[in-house]
Structure formats: C-alpha cells, structure tokens
Amino acid sequence: MELRVGSKYRLGRKIGSGSFGDIYLGTDVSTGEEVGVKLECVKLKHPQLHIESKIYKILQGGVGIPAIKWCGAEGDYNVMVMELLGPSLEDLFNYCNRKFSLKTVLLLADQLISRVEYIHSKNFIHRDVKPDNFLMGLGKKGNLVYIIDFGLAKKYRDSRTHQHIAYRENKNLTGTARYASVNTHLGIGMLTHSFQSLISIYLDFNLIFL
C-alpha cells in the first residue's frame, strides 16, 4: 500500500531521526523530486513539530536553511516536508577516520559560524548544535553546509526591542551533553552560547591546533 502525505508526497524508507521525530525519504509524485519528510506522532505529550515548522518559516531564505515545502497533519502524525539533504558532518567525519584536513576545517568553520550567526540574528538559539545537525547539500549545493533540527530551539530576545530574555537558573540539560555550553552544564538558561558548542565541535574536528 502506497503511503502519501500532503496528497502529493509518497513516503519511502526511514533515513534519520531528529529531536522529536523520524525523517523519511519522500518523492513528489507530480515532479519526481525527492524530499525529506519528518513525522511526529500527534499523541506525544508535548508535540514540537508545529513549533519547529514555524521557526523554519521564520528562517526561510537564509543561506544553509533547508526549504520547507509543506506542513500539516496526516492521520496520526504531524508532518513537515523539506528539501532533501546529504550526509551530516558526523557521517563525513567518521568516513574520514575522524580527522579532517586543515583546508576542510577552515571551510567548515566559516560556514558553521555563519549559520549560528544567522539564527541569532533572527532572535533564536538552536540549543542542540552538534555535527549530526549540520548536513551537506546535494548536487550543485554539495559544498554548502545546512543546519537542521530546531526541535529544541528557543527565542532568546524580543523581536521588536532586541532585549535579551532573562537567564533562568537550575535548568535541566538541554541538547547534547558533549557539545553543550558551559552555562548549560551549570544549569543556567542558554542565551547566545551556541559558539561554545561550536568550539567543542572544532576540538573534535581538530580545528584548534595546540
């Protein structure tokens, strides 16, 4: 039996998992274009995909932000259809025996910083910056780094006044411990500490040479 979402996207095999849902390969039946389809069970106690899709829409147009093609509900699932992307930096790092060349390191560093800066410029922090959430593009965009998975993202300042939202102490750890910022480990609510997470990634990638 053929499964479809949004009336025009045929659902295929599972290709990954996000913070609050699974990602499947999909195909636009009218054009043959392959897409990524993220599914989240509507019965979850705290469904996040609707919120995540809104953040994606705010970020649309930014370099390295996947294009969102359709969002909605289908049966027992919330659905988001997006641009299909390639392997993650974690996948590539493993493929390269967990060591990148200096040239690769410098090219990645520039793009990773740019992605985080763009998200901050839109008044959000990602809160789960890690190699698994940076994916390469496909085809002509094969050298472009994308950032994905905004299931844990949060607004950190007022859009109109640009006033920062106050710190909150004694918060539980959010994101991935290995790449979390110092403040996160101390139980202080995160503001613009994504760059500390990037430093952890750079150390893993041998971006910092001692």
Active site residues per annotation: 128
Q: Which amino acid is at 141?
A: K
Task: Give the C-alpha separation, 23 to 114, whole Å.
Answer: 25
Query: 107: number of CA atoms within 13 Å, CB side?
Result: 10
Which residues have C-beta within 8 Å of that of residue 118, sequence separation ≥ 6? 59, 62, 63, 64, 65
Q: What is the DSSP track for 175-206?
A: S-GGG--HHHHTTBPPSS-HHHHHHHHHHHTT
Cα four-point dihedral sign 45, 187, 175, 119? positive
**Strand pairing of 68-74 and 124-125?**
unpaired
At residue 135, φ and ψ (nearest 5 deg) are -120, 150
Token pair, residue 202, equals 């750079």
